[in-house]
């Protein structure tokens, strides 16, 4: 199973359930759907789940105390003069790239939890990945001429951040979904068809913690209104 669908840097809006749209679309939806069909996945002879994240995870850790961007006074004081900060009419401070980054952080933590909860007991392999960067309809609504988006997309996302062929983008998906050697690295974050190295690849410390992964799992259960104890 590959959780690939998502949104990127969209304007502020809430889902029908009241969650910020990146969080709802990129994390809570896949979290709930995956867990609802997990028995079918585990029935496979070689169950494997791939969660498509992004190097964009480095833009923001998961905001456990402010995941919906209902900004506290302290946060507002620190960032109110940020040139790319938007404040909507409801009084929430919102940065579309911070929101995207939070959701991509959640993707990596989700894969860690799946591997730890279902790896040894059920043989499930779970991985997250940075697919690379290529122009698609996902970013049609964006103005790529401005910072910080241009800096992120044209060199700060890794040496191979701007592939020119679809084959380069699909390579890490295929590696994550099928390579048998990855069994030794269950739960890993992948980039450019290899297990990401924190020393040479762009991997933030907030996506390497099992504690943070479990913390997100419990919060996600609370937000979707269901518990999944494995």
What CA–CA distance (Å, rounded) separates 67 from 19? 9
Q: Residue 214: which of 100, 115, 66, 102 has the closest Cα?
A: 115
pLDDT tens digits for 22-81? 999 999 999 999 999 999 999 999 999 999 999 999 999 999 999 999 865 444 434 444
Q: Which domains does the chain have, with CATH numbers?
A: 2-62+97-224 (3.40.50.720)
In this prediction, residue 78 carries a pLDDT of 41
Residue 95 has pLDDT above 50, yes or no: yes
Residue 14 has pLDDT above 90, yes or no: yes
pLDDT band at 116 (very low <50, low <70, confident <90, very high): very high
Indicate the average pLDDT of the chain: 85
The β-bridge partners of 128 are 51, 189
pLDDT tens digits for 184-224? 999 999 999 999 998 888 899 999 999 999 999 999 999 99
DSSP H helical ranges for the chain: 21-22, 29-36, 38-42, 73-79, 96-122, 149-153, 166-178, 210-224
Q: Which residues are catalytic?
A: 100
pLDDT band at 168 (very low <50, low <70, confident <90, very high): low
Q: Which phi and psi (to 5°) does residue 99 adopt?
A: -65, -40
In this prediction, residue 144 carries a pLDDT of 64
Give every strand in the sheet of 125-130, ordered side by side. Answer: 2-3, 48-52, 125-130, 189-191, 194-195
pLDDT tens digits for 123-151? 999 999 999 877 677 767 777 665 455 45
In this prediction, residue 86 carries a pLDDT of 52
**DSSP summary character for residue 70:** -
In this prediction, residue 138 carries a pLDDT of 76
């Amino acid at each position: 199973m590959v959780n690939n669908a998502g949104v990127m840097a969209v304007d502020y809006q809430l889902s029908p359930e009241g969650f910020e749209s990146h969080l709802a679309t990129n994390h809570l939806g896949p979290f709930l759907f995956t867990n609802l069909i997990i028995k079918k996945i585990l029935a496979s002879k070689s169950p494997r789940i791939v969660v498509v994240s992004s190097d964009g995870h480095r833009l923001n850790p998961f905001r456990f105390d402010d995941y919906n961007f209902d900004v506290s006074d302290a946060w507002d004081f620190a960032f109110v003069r940020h040139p790319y900060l938007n404040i909507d009419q409801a009084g929430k401070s919102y940065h579309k790239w911070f929101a995207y980054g939070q959701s991509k952080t959640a993707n990596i933590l989700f894969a860690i939890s799946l591997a730890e909860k279902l790896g040894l007991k059920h043989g499930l392999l779970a991985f997250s990945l940075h697919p690379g960067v290529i122009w698609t309809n996902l970013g049609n609504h964006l103005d790529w001429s401005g910072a910080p988006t241009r800096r992120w997309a044209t060199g700060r996302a890794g040496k191979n951040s701007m592939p020119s062929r679809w084959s380069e983008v699909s390579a890490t998906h295929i590696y994550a979904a099928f390579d048998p050697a990855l069994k030794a690295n269950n739960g890993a974050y992948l980039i450019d068809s290899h297990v990401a190295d924190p020393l040479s690849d762009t991997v933030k410390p907030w996506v390497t913690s099992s504690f943070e992964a479990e913390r997100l799992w419990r919060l996600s259960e609370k937000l979707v209104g269901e518990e999944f104890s494995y």
